[in-house]
Chain A
Amino acid sequence: MTTAITLNDYLIVSGLLFALGIAGIIIRRNALVIYMALEINLNAANLALVAFSKFNKLVDGQILAFFIIAIAAAEVAVGLAIIVALYRRKQTVSVDELTTMRL
């Protein structure tokens, strides 16, 4: 039997992806991996936007998704540069060891 995929299904997948991203951010210690988890969060949001766009017959969501992709690319460039710079300075990318901001 074939059932049409509903908006709900998309949103559930998007929500699961987002939760996965958050879990990765909280659990993982490597800054690079946290970064990847962040990307998952962004893509979860993209998925939800595109799904809304499709079901509501509006292109706004898709346009927003493109924006997010473009901004994510820029953000990755900056973020990776920061991580590289951090590694050069501290010889580590483990966030547990990067606690100089603490009082």
Chain B
Amino acid sequence: MNHLIYMYGTDWGMGRFPICSVWILLFSPLVAAALITLVTGKNKALSAALSIGAILLSFTLSLRLFWLFAFKGIQHQPHPFPWLVIGNSVRIEFGMTTDALALLMLLVVTGVGSAIHFYSLGYMKGDPGFSRFFACMSLFTFSMLGIVISSNFIQIFIFWELVGVSSYLLIGFWFEKPSAAEAGKKAFLTTRIGDVGMMLGILLLWSHAHTFEFAELKARLPSLDLSIGTLALIGVLIFTGAMGKSAQVPLHVWLPDAMEGPTPVSALIHAATMVAAGVYMLCRVSWLILPSETALWLIAWIGGITALMAASIAIAQNDIKRILAYSTLSQLGYMVMAVGLGGPTQAMFHLTTHAFFKALLFLGAGSVIIALHHEQDIWKMGGLWKKTPITFWTFVIGTLALAGVPPLSGFYSKDEILLLAFERNQPLFLIAVATAFLTAYYMGREVFVVFCGKPRDQHAYDHAHESPLVMTAPLIFLALFSIITGWYSKVPDFLGPPHEAERHSLLLTGGLIAVPVFGFIVALRLYWKPDPSDAPVKAALGKLWTLVENKYYFDELYHWIIKYVQGTIATTCDVFDRWILQRLGIGGLSVGTGLLGRTVRLLQTGSISGYAFFFGLGATVIIYYVVVR
């Protein structure tokens, strides 16, 4: 059994590992962000060193905590301190959770984050906003770490919003480009919609339980006697928050647009922070969601639909980063589906492996983009494998891991989810298998079009070059982890009670291996040629191709809704404000007062006799009333 070590008052130390270092783990990126913004902004090298140093410090401390927990069975947990106390009823603490789930997530965030920070050194070289970039990255890391260690709903919500703000800063990093500014705004607003739902869910839960603390809620939930409807409503509302952050249908529209940010940002958002936050939060509060069948059902189906829909959109995209963005959507769909099927452990496992290979893929794509001087259209690439061998091979490893080819990590985690679906919900299992096929297919398409065949833009090809070591080293590091994270199959066991070992047939496992292989073969047949093109697929799919090429017209639908629904509401409010409030209310009041003033002014004659007369009259009347009555 693990001992839980709580520290009180002035007791700062526990042997050689002082407890305050848990706080250092959290706050060092914030300190770095503040220092860069306030002090070292002018000095690019120092700024980058601060930011990288901070995340490396966090990473080291996470490793140490993880090691102590996993092998020594010691759990360091600083005592929470009161943060917001309102009267006797509301007491919000700033606590720190360091259970298995949080520790695993800390490792993922800081580990993948460190690789991305290093990579940014190369990618952002020469950018005028170099220091600002690192400040934002540190802020982003801090916010994400805050979500991971949160011990209550308010704390998680505040860090949740901080992640939203920092994502806004980073997606719109090149704000002089209108599309980037728009994308930042879209990401922020879309996730806000989900956040409102989450806030409502938190408040609804509070109105029943009168506490925000996870531990307390978890213990008291069965004794609260919530009706099935309330429980489902709370679960669904909290899930809305995750829907926004983890970009589930129908709030997924911001994620592909977020590709406007610099590539390391995409990698960070897609792998370690932001989108992982939603799934992590669901796992953190899984005790709240698991009792409600309705909520689980909804979550599972939204996850499944997202997975399939995003995978189908990805087959018709032409931007090297957008394909990966839709693939992230699709994988997040898997994770959310796993939560909905009652397997938060499997979701976390997939999140962990996904973090490594998705970061790897994004950084690989970034390397290609840099090699071709900021070219993102895959149809202008081709034949790059000779020019950028390290990028190519690591990208292939990432692709295989994503597609779920054994023995790479993606296979193990995806396998777990597929088997879970097979046991609990057959239709979703079919959807998941179809998604797995599409995943292999579109990733195969991307690899073949980008790296194989003939160079289609000879000029760009001639100037292409392999990225410097500072960019390729993180690629190799991540590729290594993309291979091995799945082998540590104890990750699911580490997180919770091991689910009963299913004796799935060899046939099923064989089939699951065959699916991605089949996907690759199809892609190979269609795109493995000197001069590949989409034409045959386009012809075969017909209308369907147009549909997926236009992303199922979600953006158009939202534009329509905003134009007509929101536009109508706005016009009504405008008329109400302008005519009822302004003209009738405020205008009426002012005109009325003016008229009254003019009327009363007539009494002011300036004639002393008149005043005396009225004065006498008034005095007489008062005396009459006082004396006679």
Q: How large is the interface on B (under 10, 10 to 19, 20 to 34, 35 or more residues)?
A: 10 to 19
Chain B binding surface SS class: helix
Q: List 23 contacting pairs A-B, 8 Å CB cutoff, sorted by A.
A: A22-B612, A25-B609, A25-B612, A26-B609, A26-B612, A26-B613, A26-B616, A27-B609, A29-B609, A34-B608, A95-B607, A95-B608, A95-B609, A96-B607, A98-B608, A99-B605, A99-B606, A100-B606, A101-B606, A102-B604, A102-B606, A103-B601, A103-B604
Known: A27-B609, A95-B609. A22 touches B616 (CB 8 A): yes
Chain B residues with CB under 8 A of A98 = 608
Task: List the B residue with the shortest CB-CB distance to A27.
Answer: B609
Mark B598-629 against chain A: 1 for CB-CB distance below 8 A, else 0. 00010011111100110010000000000000
Q: Identify the 4 closest CB pairs spanning chains A and B, nearest first.
A: A102-B606, A99-B606, A95-B608, A25-B612
Give the number of residues in A that approach B within 8 Å (Cβ atoms): 14
Chain A residues with CB under 8 A of B605 = 99, 102
How far apart sit A33 and B160, CA to CA, in the bound complex (Å)? 86
Q: What distance in Å separates the Cβ of B606 from its nearest Cβ neighbour in chain A? A: 3
Chain B residues with CB under 8 A of A99 = 605-607
Q: Which A positions have Cβ atoms within 8 angstroms of B?
A: 22, 25-27, 29, 34, 95-96, 98-103
Chain B residues with CB under 8 A of A95 = 607-609
Q: What distance in Å separates the Cβ of A20 from its nearest Cβ neighbour in chain B? A: 12
Q: What distance in Å separates the Cβ of B608 from its nearest Cβ neighbour in chain A? A: 4
How far apart sit A101 and B607, CA to CA, in the bound complex (Å)? 9
Q: Which of A26, A95, A101 has the most CB of B within 10 A?
A: A26
Q: What distance in Å separates the Cβ of A98 from its nearest Cβ neighbour in chain B? A: 8
Task: List the A residue with the shortest CB-CB distance to B620.
Answer: A22
Chain A residues with CB under 8 A of B613 = 26
Q: What distance in Å separates the Cβ of A36 from its nearest Cβ neighbour in chain B? A: 14
Chain A residues with CB under 8 A of B604 = 102-103
Chain B residues with CB under 8 A of A25 = 609, 612, 616
Chain B residues with CB under 8 A of A103 = 601, 604
Q: What distance in Å separates the Cβ of A5 from its nearest Cβ neighbour in chain B? A: 23
Q: What distance in Å separates the Cβ of B394 from its nearest Cβ neighbour in chain A? A: 88
Chain A residues with CB under 8 A of B608 = 34, 95, 98
Chain A residues with CB under 8 A of B601 = 103
How far apart sit A26 and B612, CA to CA, in the bound complex (Å)? 6
Task: List the A residue with the shortest CB-CB distance to B601.
Answer: A103
Task: List the B residue with the shortest CB-CB distance to A101.
Answer: B606
Task: List the B residue with the shortest CB-CB distance to A22.
Answer: B616
Task: List the B residue with the shortest CB-CB distance to A31.
Answer: B608
How far apart sit A101 and B604, CA to CA, in the bound complex (Å)? 9
How far apart sit A27 and B616, CA to CA, in the bound complex (Å)? 13
How far apart sit A29 and B612, CA to CA, in the bound complex (Å)? 12
Task: List the B residue with the shortest CB-CB distance to A102.
Answer: B606
Q: What distance in Å separates the Cβ of B616 from its nearest Cβ neighbour in chain A? A: 5
Task: List the A residue with the shortest CB-CB distance to B613.
Answer: A26
Task: List the A residue with the shortest CB-CB distance to B616.
Answer: A22
How far apart sit A53 and B619, CA to CA, in the bound complex (Å)? 24
Task: List the B residue with the shortest CB-CB distance to A25.
Answer: B612
Task: List the B residue with the shortest CB-CB distance to A34.
Answer: B608
Q: What distance in Å separates the Cβ of A14 from its nearest Cβ neighbour in chain B? A: 14
Chain A residues with CB under 8 A of B606 = 99-102
